[in-house]
Amino acid sequence: MRWDDFRTSSNVEDRRGMGMAGGGGLGIGAIVILGLVGWALGIDPRILIGGAEMITGGGSGYQQQGQTGTPQDEMGRFAAAILGNTEDVWKTVLPQQANREYREPKLVLFSGATRSGCGGAQSAMGPFYCPLDQTVYIDLSFFQEMQQRFRAGGDFAYAYVLAHEVGHHVENVLGILPRVQQRQQEVSRSEANQLSVRVELMADCLAGVWAHHSNQRWKSLEQGDIEEAIRAAEAIGDDRLQKQAQGRVVPDSFTHGSSEQRMRWLTTGLKSGSVQACDTFRASRL
């Protein structure tokens, strides 16, 4: 992937090496245990951890400030460049296709643990988007895990992960996330999981929309890039992760979608470049 010429975003905060300061919240041991329980039961660990943080009040009134500006290491510069490119794409595409002004999200880089507007953040949780502070959080060691655990490395695979989280921000700007979160409080766990799957598959598709327009304008994709992202989408499907963790698949507990679904919706965005084509809530087939 050709990313060296991308504009680097100024909306990056680097907290790597700072650890998790501040009082209250869950201890590291509790968060690790909740993470393991979540994977074993097929429940998104972020749901368990976020809920426990709200109960303990761990996310309330907390401020942690890192270094702003362009990181100096290669992976930090890569993340800032991908974020910058998503900004350049969405500030054009979203007004054109959805008649919405794009508000730029922030990106926090951390190592090990930090705090977010949604509570504690741990590397074990993987990258995530917090709608309360409109920020993407990522420990860049996740990219090493993609390579070593999932055999799904490569620049465009890593960019897909970041663009997926930015896709959640696009959903937030469109007003989708608040409506889904409200609805999830009113339905059964199985139905709430299905809503989560639709949110995640839409974010996959929106990541593809970003890549489509980035390639059109900057010729950013190289041979093999799309295959890298497809492999990554396949590797992190709920069915594959559950099979690895517990030896069986429980579709009712899916929160992100199967490998086939994730690959198909990412491809839909890549081919169409259309936000409307990513509307998983009106799709007859997930």
Do the domain assignments include residue 195? Answer: yes
Is the pLDDT at 197 greater than 90, yes or no? yes
Instruction: Quote the pLDDT of residue 23.
Output: 41
Task: Find tokens 């999932």 and name the residue.
Answer: 150
CA distances from 166 to 83, 114, 129, 284 (A): 8, 19, 7, 25
Instruction: Quote the pLDDT of residue 31.
Output: 46
Do the domain assignments include residue 209? Answer: yes
Task: Find tokens 């090990």 and name the residue.
Answer: 112
What percent of the chain has a predicted confidence (pLDDT) above 90? 77
Helix ranges restricted to H, 127-219:
141-148, 155-173, 176-184, 189-218
Do the domain assignments include residue 284? Answer: no
| Residues paired with residue 106 on neighbouring β-strands, in sequence order | 135
| pLDDT-derived band at 68, boundaries 50, 70, 90 | confident
Do the domain assignments include residue 139? Answer: yes
8-39 CB burial, b ≥16 within 10 A, e <16 = bbebbbbbbebebeeeebbeeeebbebbeebb
Q: Specify whether the CB–CB gap between 98 and 174 falls below 8 A.
A: yes
**Residue-wise pLDDT tens digits, 45-63:** 555 455 444 444 444 444 5
Q: Specify whether the CB–CB gap between 273 and 216 falls below 8 A.
A: yes
Do the domain assignments include residue 31? Answer: yes
**Residue-wise pLDDT tens digits, 139-184:** 999 999 999 988 999 999 999 999 999 999 999 999 999 999 999 9
What number of residues does the chain have?
286
d(CA 118, CA 139): 16
Q: Residue 59: which domain range?
A: 12-278
* 3 state DSSP class of 187: coil
Helix %, strand %, coil % for the chain, to 5?
55, 10, 35
Which tokens in the block code for residue 49? Answer: 């951890």
Do the domain assignments include residue 5? Answer: no
Q: Which pairing describes strands 113-116 and 135-138: parallel, antiparallel, or unpaired?
A: unpaired
Q: What does pTM read for this prediction?
A: 0.85
Is the pLDDT at 269 greater than 70, yes or no? yes
Do the domain assignments include residue 6? Answer: no
Which tokens in the block code for residue 193? Answer: 């999981």
Structure-model confidence comparison of residues 276 and 47, the more confident one: 276
The amino acid sitting at 161 is: V
**Residue-wise pLDDT tens digits, 232-245:** 999 999 999 999 89
Instruction: Quote the pLDDT of residue 111.
Output: 96
Do the domain assignments include residue 130? Answer: yes
Query: Structural domain tally of the chain?
Result: 1
